[in-house]
Amino acid sequence: MITDLSKLAARRHEVAQALAAVLPAGCVLAAPEDTRPYECDGLAAYRQMPLVVALPHDEAQVLAVLAVCRGLGVPIVPRGAGTGLSGGAMPIAEGIVLSTARLNRIVRLDATSRTAVVQPGVRNLAISEAAAPHGLYYAPDPSSQIACTIGGNVAENSGGVHCLKYGLTVHNVLRVRVATIDGDIVELGSEAPDAPGLDLLSVFIGSEGMLGIVTEVTVRLVPKALCARVIMASFGDVVTAGNAVAHVIAAGIIPAGLEMMDRTSVSMVEPFVHAGYDLDAAAILLCEADGTVEEVDDEIARMTAVLREAGAGAIAVSTTEAERLRFWSGRKNAFPAAGRISPDYYCMDGTIPRKHLAQVLTGIAQMEVKYGLRCANVFHAGDGNLHPLILFDANRPDELHRAEAFGAEILALCVAVGGTITGEHGVGVEKIDSMCVQFKPTELAAFFAVKKAFDPPMLLNPGKAIPTLHRCAEFGRLRVTNGALPHANLPRF
């Protein structure tokens, strides 16, 4: 690490000069007032000013940036729209940020083969907008879809409320074109159903910028459903609601969306958006069906029957598109609503096998008592992807500490029941230490071996997503110092 400020300034000058020599004017930012907007992504608590920001316009310029960095040994942090929630695009002091924002062209859209070829800086929603005249859209819909880019979606393997039925990014991307740190262009995947050779496309998707810079993405487009309706079902306790989710899936139904909110979530969101939620319910489920009118009527009827059988109280079904959007508005505004009732909140992203939903919800309720903090549970119930929001006030130092310990214990419980520490937000810098708990040293070594196969000089987004064994060892010592947590070995973080 370069600690001497004058040395850092000299290095900045050197790198900026070298990049300016290979890029058009206006593509290199080095002054603090220009690089400030890049100091963090959506995980704003983690900030770091980068050395330089490079904004290439095309693939050739991306390769030129990589060549300069390779030559000078400069780390590279790739960045899409910066909406990520785990600090994956947080800069490194001695490294550049490579923004793909200017590679923002839809190269072509083929309605017959239902594919679109787009550059990485194209916004997620812009793809669906371009496909709309053909009755098609791009399915994965992260809540940031207005702003986030397909390049970032590829890096994080983004999901959304409809990914239970329509899949994650990895299920909706057919091919990526990648600039490697060695200066090659490789194409991973195929528009044909299956590609020979190793499936490097799947390894690339979700690799958090560690394997290469994506310069082109071929996505699958799907037909817009003719009709969609949503059920809002109330439950008297969260365990019954959790079991109801398992029953819906067990009945062979794959809803277009299956989301759950507990009483705390409902009570914080209802005064804000007036979605018509049942304030007396301990939990509500939102279950969407889409397809033809007949399919939707049939699936709504089957889901209603299953939910009643599973112990639902009040059940309302949207009858108009406006009503459907109103039912969803509460779910979609849950995070902003948390800001209205609590100075701070800490959002988790653990996943669990669906059958353990009720058990984990009970565990979280017990932790609320233990830590003296409220937790709003809002999540993709159908996927088993939890987003508990721990509400606290950072101005009381003890509350921050308790919130961190509470979060760690939730993730520990997720791992203990066979789940994971992150579903769709990525590891980034935020959860890197938890990776030491999730994986064995041999498994982390396998990750690193593959990372090194793509990036021998280890310049692409170093320090993110995969912890070094050294770091895990350090972390192990820290863990001992702080004492063990229940359920598993997750530490404060």
* Contact call for residue 443 and a copy of itself (CB under 8 A): yes
CB of 281 to a copy of itself, least distance (A): 25
Stretch that binds a copy of itself, among 118-126, 319-327, 396-404, 452-460 (CB under 8 A): 452-460
Burial status of residue 335 (CB atoms within 10 A of its CB: 0-12, 13-18, 19 or more)? middle
Distance of CA 161 to the CA centre of its chain: 12
**Of 223, 336, 343, 457, the one binding a copy of itself by CB under 8 A:** 223
Indicate the residue among 53 and 381 with the shorter CB distance to a copy of itself: 381
Structure tokens at 324: 């459907």
Indicate the residue among 124 and 422 with the shorter CB distance to a copy of itself: 422
DSSP symbols for 104-171:
--EEEEETTTTEEEE-TTSBHHHHHHHHGGGTEE-----TTTTT-BHHHHHHHT---TTHHHH--HHH
Distance CA 64, CA 58 (A): 10
In whole angstroms, how far apart are CA 173 and each of 41, 100, 311, 372? Answer: 24, 18, 39, 44
* Contact call for residue 316 and a copy of itself (CB under 8 A): no
**Of 190, 240, 267, 329, the one binding a copy of itself by CB under 8 A:** 190
* Contact call for residue 177 and a copy of itself (CB under 8 A): no
* Contact call for residue 33 and a copy of itself (CB under 8 A): no
**Of 42, 84, 142, 419, the one binding a copy of itself by CB under 8 A:** 419
* Contact call for residue 413 and a copy of itself (CB under 8 A): no
**Of 41, 94, 262, 424, the one binding a copy of itself by CB under 8 A:** 424
**Of 384, 407, 462, 491, the one binding a copy of itself by CB under 8 A:** 384
Total residues contacting a copy of itself by CB under 8 A comes to 76
* Contact call for residue 250 and a copy of itself (CB under 8 A): yes
CB of 11 to a copy of itself, least distance (A): 30
**Of 205, 228, 312, 460, the one binding a copy of itself by CB under 8 A:** 205
- Partner residues linked to 257 by β-bridges: 288
Distance CA 478, CA 472 (A): 10
Distance CA 75, CA 78 (A): 10
Structure tokens at 177: 């074109």
- Partner residues linked to 53 by β-bridges: 29, 97
Subset of 141-160 contacting a copy of itself (CB under 8 A): 157, 159
CB of 9 to a copy of itself, least distance (A): 36
Stretch that binds a copy of itself, among 7-15, 20-28, 445-453, 480-488 (CB under 8 A): 445-453
Stretch that binds a copy of itself, among 39-47, 116-124, 232-240, 377-385 (CB under 8 A): 377-385
* Contact call for residue 439 and a copy of itself (CB under 8 A): yes
Spell out the residues 6+ positions from residue 259 whose beta carbon is closer than 8 angstroms to its own. 161, 285, 286, 331, 378, 379, 380, 381, 382
